[in-house]
Structure 1
Amino acid sequence: MPDPFGYDNRPETLQETDLSIGLDLDGTLVAFARGFVQKAKEEGVQYYDHYSVWNQWAAPDRLEKNFFKMWDVLEDNWEFWTRLDPLEKAYVPYEVTAYVTSRSSAPEGAGEHWIKKNEFPPAPVFRVGEALNKLNRLMWINDSPNESLDVFVDDKAATVREVHTAWAHGQDVPFPLLITTPANSRFSNEKNSDLPRVDYLAEVPKAARHYINK
């Protein structure tokens, strides 16, 4: 029986929403860890044996050198970045205002190509780049005349915490939600248990209204 919140069950018509929603790419929609580990094996670079062991957005000390060696391989690698699989539970039934990603090694246009190829809601892709962090990029988006986000979803707990702190202090940033993954679940990492989160992307509009209107 197909997962009602699974990628393969995506709707033909997108739901309209009064919220402007922004989504991260890698780890939220894109099965980046899986692709990275598979590519490392192809290149003969020692890294995790299986992507399920990847439980943080940083390499352990013993693998740090190989981690950065792989980024040299992935720099401007169009084939790698555009052929990554969608995550199984990347079900997005609503309109999206923007995608915001920290990736700096992907070639220009790779994110847009991947979104179109995998039939996710069309929206512009904003890359953080090397000079900014995601918080600064989200502030820049909300200060621009064309896009403004009410809510932003990311799989990296540190990013969600930083954006939530800014939001709580009245800065013009979207309300952040953490999308639950094995690496950031309430059970695998208790320090993340207080963060506003959703287990499925389909829950984002309802959850955002709940948290924002508290």
Structure 2
Amino acid sequence: MSFVSANWGDIVHRALLHAWLAGLPLFLGLLISLPVGWLAQRSRVLRPFLVVGSGLLYTIPSLALFILMPLIIGTKILDPLNVIIAMTIYTIALLVRSVSDALAAVPADVRQAATAMGYTPARRFLAVDLPLAVPVLAAGLRVAAVSNVSIVSVASLVGISQLGFYLTDGYERTYGTEIGVGIVACVVLALIFDLTIVLLARVLTPWQRVNAA
């Protein structure tokens, strides 16, 4: 606990940086994955290419992607933008299938009823399909959020400041306490992300609470 008390300000600062590097790509990845997943769900021809193709992005080693990103987009090696773009790619890799599966889980009779009421495809997607897809989509988001928190820590190997610093610095100094603090901090941050998504999903699906009651 002495290490935590002596470095509390630094831990909080790095935790906030870590949350930003993991959270912003989660949001951006969701925005991109929604139309891609919708198209995959609508088209049987495109679905294999979109779902499998996006999933293959996750096979790219994170450290290699962090190193190659400056060469691809012309940034400096220590620019956090490299991590944000790389993590957005990983988020898309996880969420395209989740979005497609979530939309496919919407009952067909509900879609037909909305269409019969005069809903346009865009309006039906926003007002009917997407809200009903929230429970399944939230499950995918939870996986992506925890994954992002974990992978972002690897960026400490290329000098990006966040909680992963305590893992690499502790290893170099053979300081188990510092490594333990880094691990616990990452786990706590992942749990915060997970809990936030669960609570947000509950807020967005009030009918489920009514049915449960």
User: TM-score, normalization: structure 1?
Assistant: 0.28
Structure number having the greater strand percentage: 1
User: TM-score, normalization: structure 2?
Assistant: 0.29
Structure number having the greater helix percentage: 2
